[in-house]
Structures are given as structure tokens and as C-alpha cells.
Amino acid sequence: MKCLSVQLAYGETGLTVELPADRTTVIAPEHRPGLADERAAVRTAVRQPIGTLPLRQMVRPSDRVCVVFTDSTRATPNERLIPWLLEELAHVPATHITLLNSTGTHRANTSAELARMLTPEVTARYRVLNHDCHDAASLVEVGRMRDGTPALLNRHLVAADVRVVTGFIEPHFFAGFSGGPKGIMPGCAGLASVMANHRPENLASPQATFGVTEGNPLWEELREVAQRVGPSFLLNVALNERREITGVFAGDLIAAHRAGCEFVRRAAMRPVPAPFDVVVTTNSGAPLDLNLYQGVKGLAAAARIVKPGGSILLACECREGVPLDSPFERLLRRASDLEAWLARALSTREVEPEQWQVQILAQVRQRARLGLYSTLPPEVVRACHLEPCADIGAWVSRELARHGPDARLAVLPQGPLTIPYLSTATGG
């Protein structure tokens, strides 16, 4: 049998697997080369922004500025982007600038992580804070969510005269695309507000999926909340598989994000003529595959093109675990029957932290048999309702044999950086 070598995005170094050449289709984003001069591109974007004044003209030396940046689970090149951004704010005293880590519901980053993410020079000179979704004293109400829950956002963000929201744009499994208003909501929101936005009926909407923003009830609500604090200046980038910047989008929070989403969509959308029996996917490698919680995104991407009753294998390093003893892990251990759990979740208004990730996992598991290649112990993988895999090639051979001699295999080496879709269906 002739084999095809495929490089999977896995951890820091990647993973090469040998797969049957005659039965394998590799589906990856269109490669875009990195910009020749990233720094110049960022400078040009903030000086010629979309739908608003140039950043330097927006910000007076007396203004209080809050710069929002993404946490360690995101691939944003903060170590380049933030220093270049701060050069544009050189006329503002450092004491007037707060750098706010938009952790959402994730853990705080350590001082060492922040120094690595932002550079030691930045962390030594500027005030850097981790957003804490549990800290009531750090939150202020900005109206209500659509279900009546208070909409709570970080007080440093709300109190600022100027907000600059940074990040990168990639397909997102239930918000359409990352970046844009997501940096504010849920990035800098209170836990109760995040749970209200991520409630089961929103996630169950067919519009809450990769590539869809307008008409997506979840995204439209987070946009509403993000805009209540007043105008925010966006600085988002698009990246290739080498974490090189391929596009820079700056200006009005919504208009610049829309332009970035269309840029990413053209590279990420990949049509396929028919669903596959077996799909191997990743979660785009480090830092996006730090834990299984994030890895659900890779499973959701594969579910778009797997046959009902098919098989999906996720290669996700999980160097930080599930994380163990997280709300996600505790929910999975309690849910002995994921199908029954999903039925209960959809029939009640009660929402628990990180329930949304369990819901997506349960919805994917209804469609396909799920395996996981990772560094997690086999007993932990089984407790999370997945089958542990020690050898990707052997797992694929077994599953292809189980589905019959005509079974076909798809590989998403970059995981959810690709939006595969059936060409017989709509591409959204």
C-alpha cells in the first residue's frame, strides 16, 4: 500500500503520520505568505484605519487607555504586536496605559507567562492585569443580556477613555470568527454574562457555527454588549500556519473585524463534494492545543464533513491537561451518559461554567465515534468520553476497515483553521 506522509499541527513541533494515499484527502487552508514587513504593516493599518480616525489622533496624552490582549491559549503574536502598538501610543504616559489580559473564563497567566507573551520590557514598564471573571469587585454592569442577566464587563475597560482591542482572527466553532468584539465579550466579561451568552439555545442554533456572524444569536449578542462601552479601536491580525502575520485589520471594532473575517474566510473555506467515513483533525498545534477544553474546536471542525456514524480522531497535545479539576472536566466526569446530559441541558435554563464546551462535544459525539491522540493518561481520556489512541496510523487502519473497503479518510492538519463544508450545502 502506497502511503502519504502528512504533517499534523501538534504541540510545538508537529507530528508526521503515514496514511493510505489512495483513500486520503488532505484539507488545509490556502497558504498565504507572511507579510514582508509586519511592523510596517501594523503601523500603516493603525494610521490608515477602517471607519475611524488614526489611533494617534484618537488618543490624547491625558487619556486613560486600556489595551486588551489575548491570553496564552491564543496564537496572537503579542510579543510583536503589543510593542509595535505601544510605539503608536508613545505620546501617552505609561502610567495612563493599562494592558488587560482578556482571559474570558480561562485561568490567569503567570508573571513569567506575561513577560514571555508581551516581552519583559513591556511588563516592566506598564501595568498589566489579568481579567478575572469571578471577581465581582472588578466588574461593572453595562445593561442586560438578552435573557435578563446583568451584562458585566471589566471596570478598567469600561472606565477607559480609549479602548484598543487586539487579537487574531480565525474561524470559531460557535461564534463564527474569533477576534473583534470577542476581545471584550466574553474576553473581559463576568462569568454570569458569559454563561448567559453561551446558553444552550444559542449554541443549538444552526447559525452558531464556523464562519457565521450576522444571524448568529450568540455573536450578535456579544457584539451588542461590546458596543455598550462606547467606541473601541480594533487591531486584529490574520496568521498563517507559521504564526506569521498575513493581514492587519485596524479601526472601528465592527467594520475592521468584518474586513478581517472576509480575508480569513477566503483562505479558510474549503469545499468537499461528499462527507467522509473517517476524519483526522488537530487543534492547530501550540498554543491552541494546550488542553482538551480547547480541543473541542478541532472536533467541531471535523464534524462538518463526517458521515453520521463515522469516526473522528483528534490529535491534541493537552500539555496542560483537560485541564484537570476544571469545570469542564468535572462536568464530563459527572455526565455518565452524554446524550442524556445533552437532552437535560437543552430542556433547562440552568447553565454551569464551561457547559458550552460539553454541549458541543456531546453534539459531535452524537454524530461520530471519537478518538483522542494526546499526552493525557488513557483513563482520563475515557472519563472525558473519548477513546484513547496510542498510534494514529493503526487507529485509522482499524476505522477504515470497520467502515468497509470503500471508506474514505479526510485529514485537517491545521484543524479549525480550516472551515470544511459540503459543496452541496451552503458554505457558511
Q: pLDDT for 180-208, tens place per residue?
A: 999 999 999 999 999 999 999 999 999 99
The pTM assigned to this predicted structure is 0.91
For 245-278, the pLDDT digits (tens) are 999 999 999 999 999 999 999 999 999 999 999 9
What's the mean per-residue pLDDT of the chain? 96
Residues 299 and 296: their CA atoms lie apart, in Å, by 5
Strand order in the sheet with 276-282: 24-26, 409-412, 276-282, 306-315, 368-373, 387-388
Strands (DSSP E) found in 123-191: 127-130, 139-144, 150-154, 162-168, 171-172, 176-177
Give me the domains of the chain, ranges plus CATH numbers: 3-29+273-422 (3.90.226.30), 38-266 (3.40.50.11440)
425 pLDDT above the threshold of 70: no
Q: What is the spatial distance between Cα 173 and Cα 304, in angstroms, rounded to a whole number?
A: 10
Angle between the N-to-C axes of helices 78-88 and 111-118, in degrees from 0 to 180, rounded to the nearest 10: 70
Grid coordinates given for 41: 504593516
Cell numbers of 130, please?
Answer: 489579568
pLDDT at site 350: 82
pLDDT tens for 89-132 read: 999 999 999 999 999 999 999 999 999 999 999 999 999 999 99
d(CA 160, CA 239): 29
Beta-carbon contacts of 82 under 8 Å, excluding residues fewer than 6 positions away, are: 67, 69, 99, 118, 119, 122, 166
Q: How many residues does the chain have?
A: 428
- Residues 283-312: what's their mean pLDDT? 96
Task: List pLDDT tens digits, range 354-391.
Answer: 999 999 999 999 999 999 999 999 999 999 999 999 99
pLDDT of 47 strictly over 70: yes
Cα–Cα distance for residue pair 86/55, rounded to 1 Å: 11
Residue 424 has a pLDDT of 73
Instruction: Identify the helix (H) or strand (E) that includes residue 236.
Output: strand 233-239
Confidence of residue 419 (pLDDT cuts 50, 70, 90): very high
Interior CA angle at 235 toward 232 and 240, to 5°? 150
Contact 68, 165 (CB under 8 A): yes
pLDDT of res. 349: 80
d(C-alpha 133, C-alpha 18), whole Å: 43
Question: What pLDDT was estimated at residue 426?
Answer: 46
Q: What percent of the chain has pLDDT over 70?
A: 99
pLDDT, one tens digit per residue, over 334-362 is: 999 999 999 999 998 888 999 999 999 99
> Which among 293, 302, 303 is positioned nearest to 358, based on CA atoms?
293
